[in-house]
Structure 1
């Protein structure tokens, strides 16, 4: 599904599905008492943490993993140049140094980034980590046989688009320099002020060339983190991690690494996972999940048990569900028709279809309602909680449809809260009140993705969703609204085919900023400007609920990952 070109082409379903798979943000707050704590109330080392998941931890190779944001388990083994701040909520949406001493030193135009490594960094065998290992780790991620990772380095590095990896090209990438064993310099083909976010990607994990075994490296990758792989069965279905004796907390203040063992068991049914976590019997009392959310029915059951309701993390992840228009398809070429639909939407019924207010919050902005994205409040087409059919009818008359119109809404038949038949039906009922007859066209999930992401086959109206690879407006707005990222012969995400020079230029100007706070404000302003064109109708931002065992303590879940951070929990 990923095509060899610009970012938008390759963020694809990998990005979106990864975001949802990891999405269960919570702000439950750290818990330092009871089990997992020493006599002084502080978390203590020891015990085994069990991870109960649906999806196996496949391709456990830093070159092939998509993001560290969704890589809660990989982050225990693979350290990167920078990483996410391991704190609750908004504080956790910040980027901090990991292997590097700081967030990098940019050139004046942000096209050259220089990093220096901390002293005393070692692998699980005690050998030193060098800048050359990081360079090699990045280069091997370009090899076709190790594909699957994030596309940014290929797109951003000079010469990256034409590089095939070290197995074919022995010369390596000239755009990555290592003047000494503790310094690495990146030369980019355009300004990128958010390079510190990119440096969190697992592709910046060090890999010594002498230990590289190609596609077999995933069976026993050399650990730079607090845990090492001692067992990998059935391509990540059963993963056992034990302490890396050469890891030093002095060089790694982010990962606490309290448990002695991390036992990852995958291939389980979602309902079974939630039942086991709710019961919290035996080893399940010290278990968590990193990919399974609670549904409305399960929440209702937990809500009736005071002792279990407390063991649920609640919060937000940077994600938006929306209606997408294709202005090339009539009648959506008429802005007034798009505006009419925007007014007619009944967000309360949509939220009910998505599982209720405990699992979804109404959205009127495309950017998620979090500070790190540059969230700027606006509502260009105020419909209230239940829609404004009267205003919608007025706009339809102005557009030449005084007797109403009939449209087709494409959605996936998959039973999820993103593009489900239930949400489509809720929209159908709401638009009917404004004189808009909606015919529903449900497609099987793969067919749906291939259809809505094809520039040639994209329908006029469909349900869509987007999540960012890191908490910033850049990876949220650029793939969807940068006209230079319109893809005619592969996966296209600019569904509105917007190619506005002022928008493109502003994206370039924001990318030059290395002040992330200043950049966030500009992303928010750009979101507000784009929203006036009614190319999408934001519907809701999901709220995630996820259970954990009763003896899992020191809960930390950030707005970056939305996942209970297993590098912080104690279970003893």
Structure 2
């Protein structure tokens, strides 16, 4: 996932000091007759859910959205071949069928994947959803004017590298076959055992060719989900969704669709969002946020109020914040220097700078602490809670720096805590104890991104972070450590410029596996192997704490997204 991703995504959902019950998820909706108040925990059908978000819901077109598992708001309108399992915690990190009858049927080497659509699928106007609609929806995502979605299809599909979409190439993609109205067949360049995860992306949303209006499609995309767009103001600043009368729960086991109406208001200040959810007055009593975290000061206030504390959802997402080394820049070309910094780091101070233990968890592995990623515990350079300056000093002496050394740490000046001056200062203080003087180089956000993502300008040491497009080690390790993904004339994410045949070969070998549990174990072993080279210093994994209104029920937070799933929410 792009490093700038918010989100948004290990443990079952819980409130601060209170586990949020979600046992009623499986119950069918009932008419909202007012019986939801006064302790009735059964989800009821009806009412209006308000979503208060800071990030605008722009480009509401399935071709342009960059989402995991169909996203959150988008997945109410756009169904895909597969989707995420809508359950709490680790169970929610599994991929399950959506429009398709299963998660896909691979050939022997996972280079061909076949899907069969369920019977009875229709668009919001009642017309049937066919395999041709799936194929067309994917093809239009290649159009330059509809760019913005996940890039995998261009790399994975046979003959797709130079395809420019159906507006310019009427022939379409031969790599996507539609032998009949319910069958879709994908032909890939190489084995991809994780294709079922990719099929959760919104590019796999069916789009009826006759209703495609190009760049204006986002104003009224044709719904395949439980809700349809009735209003889209100022490119997603306010989005009004109402029930799609042709959606059938019989074909959709994942979305509960309790509210009658969903009012999405975006572009709001984060402090305003938390104030409104805290007060929970009027329509805000039935409101949630999917992108606005509680800050340290806000969390302290909430924790001291039992009523507010009972309205906080806790989420974990596959995301790691780390120090990145460029081993072509001295002195980081010496592995002993990189190891010394790894030993010297004080994760307690870093966690405090990130908002404290409620908002950040210390990390010693690059892969997040989730089974689906293949998490394998290891700590190759034990620093304890506060660092090991003696071990670091001994390594520096071996490397020829008995009197210590001076280095530069590049970071962003953004308020985003992940790469903030506060994190950089915590690192600076820790390394000072080991005889390492750190000069801080703060850059404005755009300059920071441009510099760290260019092979020509990448600094020797900088703060970085990475999140996965789906809960697996593949999209976590490959972009950062696969040498074939080094981009010399564009945005590069292989910050350590690692191009080791054994690593590349193991990535290929794991990609052939369609047994995702077996693949996860291999990703975990590869994480440890790469970790021995000390190309990064894992710092922490973020934790998401988010308020919701007092009239909101049925809280489900999966390890796939780490945020409240509005497809499950009911309101009084």
| 1:495 alignment counterpart | 495
Is structure 2 residue 423 aligned with structure 1 residue 437?
A: no
Alignment equivalent of 2:8, drawn from 15, 22, 43 = 22
How much has 1:291 moved relative to structure 2? 1.1
| 1:53 alignment counterpart | 53
- Aligned positions of 1:154-303 closer than 5 A: 154-303=154-303
| 1:318 alignment counterpart | 318
| Contact 1:24 1:545 (8 Å CA) reproduced | no
C-alpha separation in 1, matches of 2:146 and 2:11: 30
| 1:126 alignment counterpart | 126
C-alpha separation in 2, matches of 1:311 and 1:35: 20
| 1:507 alignment counterpart | 507
Residues 45/520 of structure 1: CA separation in 2 closer, same or farther (3 Å cut): same
Residues 95/421 of structure 1: CA separation in 2 closer, same or farther (3 Å cut): same
Residues 302/93 of structure 1: CA separation in 2 closer, same or farther (3 Å cut): same
C-alpha separation in 2, matches of 1:24 and 1:290: 17
- Aligned positions of 1:457-468 closer than 5 A: 457-468=457-468
Secondary structure of the equivalent of 1:418?
helix
TM-score normalised by length of structure 1: 0.96
| Contact 2:68 2:200 (8 Å CA) reproduced | yes
How much has 1:522 moved relative to structure 2? 0.1
C-alpha separation in 1, matches of 2:252 and 2:86: 11
Secondary structure of the equivalent of 1:242?
strand
How much has 1:67 moved relative to structure 2? 1.4
How much has 1:544 moved relative to structure 2? 1.0
| 1:451 alignment counterpart | 451
Secondary structure of the equivalent of 1:221?
coil
C-alpha separation in 2, matches of 1:564 and 1:26: 12
Residues 74-121 of structure 1: CA distance to partner in whole angstroms, max 9, x if unpaired? Answer: 000000000000000000000000000001000100000000000000
C-alpha separation in 1, matches of 2:358 and 2:57: 29
- Aligned positions of 1:386-425 closer than 5 A: 386-425=386-425
| 1:354 alignment counterpart | 354
How much has 1:31 moved relative to structure 2? 4.3
How much has 1:17 moved relative to structure 2? 2.7
Residues 300-327 of structure 1: CA distance to partner in whole angstroms, max 9, x if unpaired? Answer: 1111211111100113110000000000
| 2:64 alignment counterpart | 64
C-alpha separation in 1, matches of 2:522 and 2:68: 26
CA RMSD across the alignment: 1.5
Secondary structure of the equivalent of 1:225?
coil
Residues 321/114 of structure 1: CA separation in 2 closer, same or farther (3 Å cut): same
| Contact 1:24 1:564 (8 Å CA) reproduced | no
How much has 1:16 moved relative to structure 2? 2.7
How much has 1:41 moved relative to structure 2? 4.5
C-alpha separation in 2, matches of 1:406 and 1:498: 25
| 1:426 alignment counterpart | 426
Secondary structure of the equivalent of 1:430?
helix
How much has 1:223 moved relative to structure 2? 0.3
| Contact 2:10 2:89 (8 Å CA) reproduced | no
| Contact 2:7 2:561 (8 Å CA) reproduced | no
C-alpha separation in 1, matches of 2:251 and 2:37: 24
| Contact 1:85 1:254 (8 Å CA) reproduced | yes
How much has 1:283 moved relative to structure 2? 0.6
| Contact 2:11 2:90 (8 Å CA) reproduced | no
TM-score normalised by length of structure 2: 0.96
Residues 250-300 of structure 1: CA distance to partner in whole angstroms, max 9, x if unpaired? Answer: 000100000000000112100000000011111101000111110000001
Which consecutive residues of structure 2, in runs of 5 or more, have no partner in the other structure?
15-19, 25-33
Secondary structure of the equivalent of 1:21?
coil
Secondary structure of the equivalent of 1:505?
helix
C-alpha separation in 1, matches of 2:498 and 2:513: 23
| 2:27 alignment counterpart | none
C-alpha separation in 1, matches of 2:265 and 2:181: 38
| Contact 1:343 1:388 (8 Å CA) reproduced | yes
C-alpha separation in 1, matches of 2:178 and 2:101: 16
| Contact 1:81 1:205 (8 Å CA) reproduced | yes
How much has 1:37 moved relative to structure 2? 7.3
| 2:29 alignment counterpart | none
